[in-house]
Amino acid sequence: MNIRTTCPYCGVGCGVIAQADTDRGTIKISGDTAHPSNYGRLCSKGSALGQTLGADGRLLHPEINGQRVSMDAALSHVAAGFKRIIAEHGPDAVALYVSGQLLTEDYYVANKLMKGFIGTANIDTNSRLCMSSAVAGHKRAFGEDVVPVCYEDLELADLIVLVGSNTAWCHPVLFQRIAQAKQQRPEMKIVVVDPRRTMTCEIADLHLPVRSGSDVWLFNGLLAYLHEHGHIANDFVASHTEGFEEVLRIARDSAGDLKQVATACGIDTERLLRFYRMFADHPRVITAFSMGVNQSSAGTDKVNSIINCHLLTGRIGQPGAGPFSITGQPNAMGGREVGGLANMLAAHMDIEDASHRELVQTFWRSPRIAERGGLKAVDLFDAIHAGKVKAVWIMATNPVVSLPDADKVKEALRRCELVVVSDCFSGTDTNALAHVLLPAAGWGEKDGTVTNSERRISRQRAFQPLSGEARPDWWLMCEVARRMGFDDGFNYDNAHEIFLEHAALSTFGNDGERAFDIGGLAKITSTEYDDLAPIQWPVPERNHPGTPRLLESGRFYRRNHRARFVPTAPRAPAHKADAEFPWILNTGRIRDQWHTMSRTGRAPQLSSHLPEPYIDMHAQDALLSAVSDGQLARVETQWGALVARVKTSGEMPRGSIFVPIHWNGAFASDARVGALVNPVVDPVSGEPEFKHTPARVMPFPVN
Ligand code: SF4
């Protein structure tokens, strides 16, 4: 038995073949050579997927207050709790906090239940923490959350600028594709913009170790340089954009001359000029960006400052050219399609637009529709802490570890009247605070779709039976919805039925003005759904081949069909280092672990690379902190503290330290880096500033 499915980890969305080895009773995992995202490649995490299967550590049965109960009792308890709180305090007193790990079908049902039937937009997702700044930047510039390019464009580009992205570790298969393309075409150039000298720099022609938070200065300076030296696509700017003059004025005012930009970015003028010349001289440029851009209190402006440079040069919608947001999670994009963020509506429609709300409500035949955006992740947990939100259902995520100011999140859940958690695994920091635990189906057990960074919809297929009483998340929500009295609207028998409804909604009332349209898949049979080959949206008609590239015609998704240059005045990160907290804490992923390790932590081979949490810092900063390589140290911020071993890898610039995000209470006590991170968010996107928290480091034990 060979089952084609999709890797459940990062946003590259690699195709995987799961093959049962009946003699050994194991599942062999290999890369799918036919999948256009990876052509058979897998990284260390994907290759070890077979080690994460099985019942070990799984949550197998429902529990209420730590006692095993029947599934019926647990679901009825959740429904009754939600109903009572809504009756007493209104719909905004309940919330869902979901995840980019969910399949699109799960996400669709969650969004429908909250926005259409309960009548609140208090549903947000851990994708808020990873790409919501990119979403907001796309909407401001293009009118809709569209990624114009595809992975093939990375191979066609003459210059790839990787900004705030340790692609080698965080999107390894994409990195392999880029490295191979560069090997085949040595004239291809790569620039890495990152304060750290990461593994990604191994293939870079130029590394710009910019000061944390200085990206807008860098790209405003680039815009001013391109204009000054005549690298402008005049016809494109005149015919397809608006707002250029204002953006140029702000870029010139804020960036000043090259020397000022170099000073603001903390790099030398020569390197800066080299980058600007490279950008100017290569017609096919991809600027790929990731968490180093998005996770900032100026994240949306950073995204728009990048897009502005592509609009100015007309390098968008053409092979090998465009801005490219690389998403972190396997289904960050699918969540956006169904409106799984508190400020979105399904099918890329706007919650603030009355005509869109009416369309969605009519399609759902729902009793109500949320009339305004709901609480974004950080605000949502603040509202729980303040007692305004009294019931929360957390799905497939571990916010007690991953959210900023995570100790406050822990306290919020302690205070909350009703905490429901559906998860595959037991023993996570968040599970420990649940009143009701619901066992969710895991990878290899559930069916549905995910959409990767290049808009490619791929199937996740079941290849083994459900563990214990675990059920797909959509099934758990439908059962609760029916018990709440929402009989119509949640009678799905399988994921295929949900997918058809999702696809039909994307084309409902869509007169071609909305990019997200998969109406061509709205009538596929269950066999066609089972066999669905990876395909990139839009798919507007039956038998449509999919759309690798968007915006080729220069027609954007705003009312006047013009892209908008968005003014981006640079501003510094919210908190500055000072004498008390002299270092800037940066957080991120490592090569062999995923999120809070509930799965990858179970694969022995993955723990051999970096077996414990660490604090990476410059050797001279370590000296100033009286710690040294290999020693235990305590890192403290205004919000929290953790203990880990010091590492002086040589990757860190002076003044900055790095701690990985993965470890937590379940794997190493007191190592939740989220507890150290400041809770400031970008005012447009609501994405937290994970890359910039003032910190101090001291020997441990403290003398
Ligand atoms: Fe999975 Fe991402 Fe690795 Fe591909 S690159 S195998 S999607 S973790």
Nearest atom (ligand 1) to Cα of 44: 3
Mean pLDDT for the stretch of residues 558-583 = 97
Asked whether residue 293 falls in the same domain as residue 264, the answer is: yes
Residues 6+ apart with CB under 8 A from 32: 4, 14, 15, 16, 17, 38, 40
Predicted confidence (pLDDT) per residue in 263-309, tens digit = 999 999 999 999 999 999 999 999 999 999 999 999 999 999 999 99
End-to-end CA distance of the chain: give it in Å, rounded.
60
pLDDT band at 694 (very low <50, low <70, confident <90, very high): very high
Predicted confidence (pLDDT) per residue in 424-445, tens digit = 999 899 999 999 999 999 999 9
- Give distance in angstroms: CA of 41 to centre of ligand 1: 9
CA distances from 158 to 35, 208, 283, 540 (A): 25, 18, 7, 32
> What is the ipTM, given to two decimal places?
1.00
Q: How far apart, in whole angstroms, are the C-alpha atoms of residue 506 and residue 338?
A: 9
SS3 393: strand
Nearest atom (ligand 1) to Cα of 42: 6
Mean pLDDT for the stretch of residues 116-122 = 98
Picking from 566, 518, 516, the residue whose alpha carbon sits closest to that of residue 542 is 518
pLDDT of residue 597: 87
Asked whether residue 136 falls in the same domain as residue 83, the answer is: no
Peptide bond preceding 8: is omega within 30 degrees of 0, i.e. cis? no
CA distances from 194 to 131, 166, 294, 399 (A): 18, 8, 13, 27
SS3 5: strand
Predicted confidence (pLDDT) per residue in 482-536, tens digit = 999 998 999 999 999 999 999 999 999 998 899 999 999 999 999 999 999 999 9
Segment (H or E) for 190 = strand 189-193
Pocket test for ligand 1, best of 5, 6, 14, 591 (most atoms within 8 A of CB): 14
Residue % of the chain over a pLDDT of 90: 90
Predicted confidence (pLDDT) per residue in 182-229, tens digit = 999 999 999 999 999 999 999 999 999 999 999 999 999 999 999 999
Residue 118 within a domain: yes
Query: Residue 260 above 80 pLDDT?
Result: yes
Nearest atom (ligand 1) to Cα of 10: 2
Pocket test for ligand 1, best of 45, 176, 606 (most atoms within 8 A of CB): 45
CATH of the domain at 636: 2.40.40.20
Least confident of 383-397, 492-506, 571-585, 602-616: 602-616
Residue 545 within a domain: no
CATH of the domain at 212: 3.40.228.10
Select from 496, 520, 544 the last residue of a domain.
496
pLDDT band at 670 (very low <50, low <70, confident <90, very high): low
Asked whether residue 335 falls in the same domain as residue 474, the answer is: yes
- Give distance in angstroms: CA of 6 to centre of ligand 1: 9
Q: How far apart, in whole angstroms, are the C-alpha atoms of residue 188 and residue 173?
A: 18
Picking from 536, 689, 688, 692, the residue whose alpha carbon sits closest to that of residue 124 is 688
Residue 250 within a domain: yes
Asked whether residue 298 falls in the same domain as residue 348, the answer is: no
State the total domains in the chain.
3
Residue 650 within a domain: yes
Mean pLDDT for the stretch of residues 396-421 = 97
Asked whether residue 279 falls in the same domain as residue 390, the answer is: no
DSSP assigned state of 448:
E
Nearest atom (ligand 1) to Cα of 9: 8
- Give distance in angstroms: CA of 326 to centre of ligand 1: 13
- Give distance in angstroms: CA of 162 to centre of ligand 1: 18
Q: Using a 6 Å CB cutoff, which residues line ligand 1?
A: 7, 9-10, 12-14, 38, 42-43, 45-46, 171-173
Mean pLDDT for the stretch of residues 623-650 = 96
Locate 488 and state its tokens: 């119509």
Asked whether residue 336 falls in the same domain as residue 322, the answer is: no
Select from 438, 473, 496 the last residue of a domain.
496
Q: What is the mean pLDDT of the chain?
A: 95
Mean pLDDT for the stretch of residues 68-75 = 98
Pocket test for ligand 1, best of 16, 17, 32, 43 (most atoms within 8 A of CB): 43
pLDDT band at 626 (very low <50, low <70, confident <90, very high): very high
- Give distance in angstroms: CA of 509 to centre of ligand 1: 36
pTM of the model: 0.97
Asked whether residue 449 falls in the same domain as residue 318, the answer is: no
pLDDT of residue 627: 98
Asked whether residue 105 falls in the same domain as residue 163, the answer is: no
The answer for 428, left when phi > 0, alpha when psi is -120 to 50, beta otherwise, is beta
- Give distance in angstroms: CA of 8 to centre of ligand 1: 8
- Give distance in angstroms: CA of 10 to centre of ligand 1: 5
Exposure string of 288-316, with b = 16+ CB inside 10 Å and e = fewer, is bbbbbbbbbbbbbbbbbbbbbbbbbbbbb
CA distances from 193 to 21, 127, 215 (A): 44, 23, 9
pLDDT of residue 494: 98
- Give distance in angstroms: CA of 643 to centre of ligand 1: 30
* Structural contact between residues 485 and 455, judged by C-beta atoms closer than 8 angstroms: no
| Beta strand 63-64 pairing with 436-439 | antiparallel
CB-based burial of residue 533 (10 Å sphere; 0-12 exposed, 13-18 middle, 19+ buried)? Answer: middle
pLDDT of residue 668: 53
Residue 356 within a domain: yes
Nearest atom (ligand 1) to Cα of 171: 5
CA distances from 454 to 137, 173, 253, 458, 630 (A): 17, 14, 35, 11, 40
Ligand 1, atom 4: nearest CA belongs to which residue?
14
Residue 391 within a domain: yes
- Give distance in angstroms: CA of 604 to centre of ligand 1: 18
Query: Residue 702 above 80 pLDDT?
Result: no
pLDDT of residue 608: 87
pLDDT of residue 22: 67
Nearest atom (ligand 1) to Cα of 37: 4
Query: Residue 239 above 80 pLDDT?
Result: yes
Residue 387 within a domain: yes
Nearest atom (ligand 1) to Cα of 6: 7
Return the bridge partners of 421, or none: 394, 437
Q: How far apart, in whole angstroms, are the C-alpha atoms of residue 203 and residue 189?
A: 9
Asked whether residue 380 falls in the same domain as residue 416, the answer is: yes
Its domain, for residue 305, covers 132-329
pLDDT band at 666 (very low <50, low <70, confident <90, very high): low
pLDDT band at 669 (very low <50, low <70, confident <90, very high): low
Select from 273, 303, 329 the last residue of a domain.
329
CATH of the domain at 120: 3.40.50.740
Asked whether residue 157 falls in the same domain as residue 244, the answer is: yes
Asked whether residue 374 falls in the same domain as residue 279, the answer is: no
Residues 6+ apart with CB under 8 A from 227: 248, 251, 312
pLDDT band at 703 (very low <50, low <70, confident <90, very high): low
pLDDT of residue 174: 98
- Give distance in angstroms: CA of 331 to centre of ligand 1: 12
Residue 35 within a domain: no
Nearest atom (ligand 1) to Cα of 173: 5
Q: Pseudo-torsion of CA 604, 605, 609, 610, nearest 10°?
A: -20
Asked whether residue 150 falls in the same domain as residue 297, the answer is: yes
